[in-house]
A and B are shown apart, each in its own frame.
Chain A
Amino acid sequence: MPSSSPTKQVDRARPLLGTLVAIRASGLPETEANRVIDAAFAEVADIHRLMSFHEPDSDLTRLNRMALAQPVVVDERTYQVMGQALEFARVSAGIFDPTVAGRLVAWGFLPSAHLSRKPNQRASWRDIELLTSNKIRFHRPLWVDFGGIAKGYAVDRAIECMAKLSLGQYLVNAGGDLRVSGSASERVFLRLGTPPKDGMIPAIEISNGSVASSSGREHVRTVRGKKVGPHVHGQEHGPVGLRSFVSVVSERCVIADALTKIVLANGPRSAAILRKYEATAYLHNARHGWRTLGAGHDEDQVSSPNTTG
């Protein structure tokens, strides 16, 4: 029998969720590792199919087209992500808002295909109602996009799917939003969008947890004379994070992913929300350098990170 003894690790990658999703399984025979990774990719592909803003048949597109007229039944996973998105909207008083897709379409970050009725300017997350039996209904014309959390959710589901199937150690990395299971620590370099000036590069070492990052720096474009980016302030509807970068560490990747958007928009004022989710943020901008916020930090302290080596 080929490859029956545990191998060091198997690494695979596929283009999904609009990015490269890399999955690693360690401590399993190669055939077993590949079986487990196949199942994880299938789960991520499902989430991609269900929650894509681009696909005409996704749950998300069906919601955006029909949930105003009548309750729409969605997959349990879509329902869960919507519940999670609404929770973040509530705790951040709407700074995180999954209904900002109209803005992203107007700025050219999302396509407008498949959608006819324009969103109401005053529509917000408050106009989304979760009904029983995986049914969702909208109360104003609006467009939902899960760009803020679907990747993190997919990473969590992939890790959980593999952990259920076999007893290995796993890493799932969806274009930089990643989760590692097991006690071995993983090193993640933070790409700030500008080349390092002082010859030092930041990194986070993590075991049994998640890291997600967001920044608007690399995708700034000008629309009607105004600089915009891929992240939108849910209350003010303006762009956020055009000059800052944030990485959030949390146990679950969906939490880390969503919290990056809140920290980009709200800076040090996000400390309480971070603590609520036992998450820590490393926020960087040119003016303040690095700041550490949230769990394990009383104030928004200006950190002087340890230098190894």
Chain B
Amino acid sequence: MRYQFMMFPAAIVASISAQAEDFLTVDKAQQLIFPGATFTPSDLTLSEAQVDQLIQLTNATVFRSRVKAWKVSTGGWFFLDQVPGRDDRITYAIGLNDDGSVKGIEILVCVASYDGVRQAGWRSQFQGKLHADGPNLANQIANITGTTLSVEHIAEGVKRVLATHALFIANKTG
């Protein structure tokens, strides 16, 4: 084990954490959850009444009426969803089996940033300095340690997707 404690000018950290952490593309997430399958886009647009129904059932926040969904050739459904994260939105995918049970969840994009560093006002004081830092810091995904990031929004999102499937897909297709 080797380790070292250091201090970095905030401008450098701002330039690193300005990048979103891209984990997966939609294609890759699809193949990880449903290997070998093909996917037919089957987006839904929920009516106002359906949104109300969803809120009533899950107590979850419904951010948009359009639901990104794919029907899977080998059975089941693939959904793409976004929820608020600590600093920015988290984009994640969820695969459901035909019976509506969860087959897999993968995070596609999550922005982890240092406190306040992503806030435009705070960052603006470093504008112009952002590219002045050493090249060794480029392309680095920011590991940030501190108070544990909570993922209750993802849990809520999953609940909402499960209910969307149960109410407006499974119900319809029998």
Contacts and interface: CB of A to CB of B under 8 A. Distances in A.
Contacts of B67: none
A200 B92 CA distance: 33
A211 B145 contact: yes
Contacts of A196: 10, 114-116
B54 interface: no
Number of contact residues on A: which range applies? 35 or more
B6 A308 contact: yes
Contact of B5 (A151, A202, A218, A309): A202
B143 A189 contact: yes
B35 to A, nearest CB: 10
A212 interface: yes
A177 interface: yes
Given A12-B107, A15-B155, A200 B10 contact: yes
Interface stretch (A72-80, A244-252, A267-275): A244-252
Contacts of B155: 15
A191 B115 contact: yes
Interface string B4-40: 1111111111000100011110000000100000000
Contacts of B146: 176, 190-193, 213, 215, 218, 245
Contact of B141 (A11, A176, A205, A217): A11
B133 to A, nearest CB: 7
B5 A204 contact: yes
Interface in A177-213: 177-178, 185-196, 199-209, 211-213
Contact of A204 (B3, B122, B133, B141): B3
Interface of B: 1-13, 17, 21-24, 32, 90, 92, 105-107, 110, 114-117, 122, 133-134, 140-151, 154-155
